[in-house]
Structures are given as C-alpha cells and as structure tokens.
Chains A and B, each alone.
Chain A
Amino acid sequence: GNSVTQMEGPVTLSEEAFLTINCTYTATGYPSLFWYVQYPGEGLQLLLKATKADDKGSNKGFEATYRKETTSFHLEKGSVQVSDSAVYFCALIGSARQLTFGSGTQLTVLP
C-alpha cells in the first residue's frame, strides 16, 4: 500500500532561518503529492501540491519538488517567520482517491 515518511519533529528554528522538512513516499503508479499545514485548533490547509515528476509546488514562500527518482517531496522555505509555527503534513493521493499522510512535523519559530 501507499505510505509517507516524514522527518521527525519537533523542529525549532529562529526567525529568518532556512527550513527543510524531509518527506519520502512509497506508492504504486503516479501519485499526486501535497503539503498541508495545521494551525492549533484548526483543520488542515492545503499549502502546495505537485501532480507529476519534476513539478515544483510553491506557495507563501514554501517550495517542494516532486522527485520521482528519489521518491521525495521535501518542503523548504528560505526564511521562516514566527507565523509559520504549525504542524506540517506531507501527503499523497493515488488512484484510490484517499489521502495518505505522514505523521506530521511540529515547527516552532522563535523571534
């Protein structure tokens, strides 16, 4: 079956630091890949997506590139802000149309 492995947290960074959250996946076929973000007490917000190999998804300064050869979709941001503090989930969806999530990575950004 499909699976997603995410970098263990929590991750604590200072404001303006560079962020990388690693994500690798196992799936049959050609899944679409996503990053979702969850702020305290809220549901999941779609942060970015990529639907085929070498696609780069980007939004709000965050980027991730669909790497089929390494089955990876790492999330990066050049300069994090305190407001980026949240839990980040890597996820994939395949032909079964159900999202398979990683375990989530708690990010805390200190001023």
Chain B
Amino acid sequence: KAGVTQTPRYLIKTRGQQVTLSCSPISGHRSVSWYQQTPGQGLQFLFEYFSETQRNKGNFPGRFSGRQFSNSRSEMNVSTLELGDSALYLCASSLGGDGPTYEQYFGPGTRLTVT
C-alpha cells in the first residue's frame, strides 16, 4: 500500500506571497492532519480534516487554512507569508476513528523557505 505523499517536497517563496501544499493520504484513510515543524517550536498541530470537514484546529492564525476533498486528499494554504513560516510542513493520515485507528502515518513533508 502506498504511503502518504506530499507535494511539492521543497518550496521557496517570498514574504507576502501565498502557498498551497498538497497531501494524499494512505488509501482508505479518511483523516488528514497537518503539523508544522520548526527548530524553535518543534512539532505543532495545525488542523485535522475528516470527511471534508475540519474537525480540529490548533493555535495558528487565520492565514493558515486547509481543505479536504471527497477523495480524502487535502491541501493547506498559507497566505501573506512571513519569514517565520519557514518550516517543514508534515501531513499525517489515519483511519480517523477511535482507539488504535488514532495512529497517524506521516508523509515526507514539504520544506517551505520564505525569503
């Protein structure tokens, strides 16, 4: 079974621009979560989507948004980029139910650099 895929793997953007990242979950997984990883703040939860609905949201400004499509693929968007948005953005998929299905499987990440 194919793992979680993320595109693009690397991205360089200029401050003030916007960016869209894509994530394709493991086949059959209905939940997609997004995390930001930085050296200073570590791994932080952005949001989770399940069946095309945002089910949970972390403490990030409204510039960070996402969506999920009917095939469970997800995108996240960051508008008005700031230098501090430079990070590794990780997508994780899971079946989305309770108990053991909580386990999340991660993609390789998208490395975003804002200049």
Cβ A98 vs Cβ B48 within 8 A: yes
A102 to B41, CA, bound (A): 11
Cβ B103 vs Cβ A96 within 8 A: no
Within 8 A of B (CB), among A91-111: 93, 96-104
A51 is an interface residue with CB less than 8 A from chain B: yes
Cβ A44 vs Cβ B106 within 8 A: yes
A32 to B90, CA, bound (A): 20
Cβ A49 vs Cβ B103 within 8 A: yes
A contact residues, total (Cβ < 8 Å): 21
A42 to B9, CA, bound (A): 10
A25 is an interface residue with CB less than 8 A from chain B: no
Cβ B90 vs Cβ A46 within 8 A: no
Within 8 A of B (CB), among A10-69: 32, 34, 36, 42-46, 49, 51
B interface, by DSSP: helix, strand, loop or mixed? Answer: strand
B contact residues, total (Cβ < 8 Å): 24
A89 is an interface residue with CB less than 8 A from chain B: yes
Residues from chain A with a CB closer than 8 A to the CB of B33 are: 97-99
Most chain A CB within a 10 A radius of its CB, from B6, B45, B100: B45
Given A42-B108, A101-B42, A104-B42, residue A96 in contact with residue B56 (CB < 8 A): yes
Residues from chain B with a CB closer than 8 A to the CB of A42 are: 108-109
Footprint of A on B, CB under 8 Å?
Answer: 4, 6, 31, 33, 35, 42-43, 45, 48, 55-56, 58, 90, 92, 99-100, 102-109
